[in-house]
Amino acid sequence: MTVNENLQPTAKSTFTGNVSGAYESVSKMKSVQATARIAAVLYLVIAVLSGVAHGYVPSQLIVPGDAATTASNVMASEALLHMGGVGSELAILLSEIVLSVLLYILLKPVNRTLALLAAVFRLAMTTIHGINLLNYFFALQLLSGAGYLAVFRADQLQALALLFLNAHHYGFEIGIAFLTLHVFILGYLIFKSGYFPRILGILFTIAAVGYLIDSFGMLLLPNYTTTPAFIALPIVIAEIAFPLWLLIKGVNAAQWEKRALASA
């Protein structure tokens, strides 16, 4: 056997390996871009539905300090609370679970442990918000007119219904306290990634400070009832800028793969 004949199998093997590696690399790049686009869509769905569930619905039904009017609003617009409140929130929770996993996939090349911790904090928020939905059902049951509630006077039922509606608000803020930790880590990972613009990481870090002030203010300060504009604005900018970047630009796939190979 000649020298050339000895080298031919090796050359063919090397060529096949290179082709296979290139194909796998392209496949990974397409996969991570698809992950980024799906995450962007889920982010935007959550943003829109949150406006409905936590902004529009309470503003239409709840009159602070007025149990009778609030009860009247709920009974007159029960479908709004079911579909706009409960239905929107369920869609948000399902989206949050998937988004937590996708963000972990996108950010684990930077730091697997921190990316996992960020996902856990977001899932903790999702769990709290899921349990918190019971407050809406309790309020609806109290105003349902069921026979076993005849032992209570109408004004007592209305007061209890308002109590549970208010409890839902505070349960939401408890969940946001966990989201605050998620956003701090998210900002750090984006900043260090090399495949996302650093400005997005800075925006999320500022937003995390806003979440921290707002959630703990709501929970710990009795006179803190409205989110100031200087706190809300950075949160809105970060939560919209990142999904828009994911949707339009996606990920710098070459840098993502480089970090993924390095971390492996």
Evaluate whether residue 26 is within a structural domain.
Answer: no
Please give the pLDDT value at position 60: 94
Please give the pLDDT value at position 179: 96
Total number of domains constituting the chain: 1
Of 139, 130, 206, nearest in space to 174 by CA: 130
Q: pLDDT below 70 — which residues of the chain?
A: 1-29
Domain that holds residue 193: 35-263
Evaluate whether residue 192 is within a structural domain.
Answer: yes
Evaluate whether residue 115 is within a structural domain.
Answer: yes
Please give the pLDDT value at position 3: 47
Evaluate whether residue 173 is within a structural domain.
Answer: yes
Please give the pLDDT value at position 121: 97
Evaluate whether residue 15 is within a structural domain.
Answer: no
Evaluate whether residue 45 is within a structural domain.
Answer: yes
Q: What is the largest CA-CA distance in the chain?
A: 102
User: Can you tell me the distance from the alpha carbon of 86 to that of 180, in angstroms, rounded to the nearest whole number?
Assistant: 23
- How many Cβ atoms are within 10 Å of 161's Cβ, its own excluded? 22
Please give the pLDDT value at position 118: 97
Please give the pLDDT value at position 124: 97
Please give the pLDDT value at position 95: 97
Evaluate whether residue 175 is within a structural domain.
Answer: yes
Please give the pLDDT value at position 149: 86
Evaluate whether residue 161 is within a structural domain.
Answer: yes
User: Can you tell me the distance from the alpha carbon of 192 to that of 189, in angstroms, rounded to the nearest whole number?
Assistant: 5
pLDDT digits (tens, 9 = 90+) for 196-212: 999 999 999 999 999 99
Please give the pLDDT value at position 22: 41
Please give the pLDDT value at position 16: 46
8 A C-beta contact, residue 10 and residue 3: no
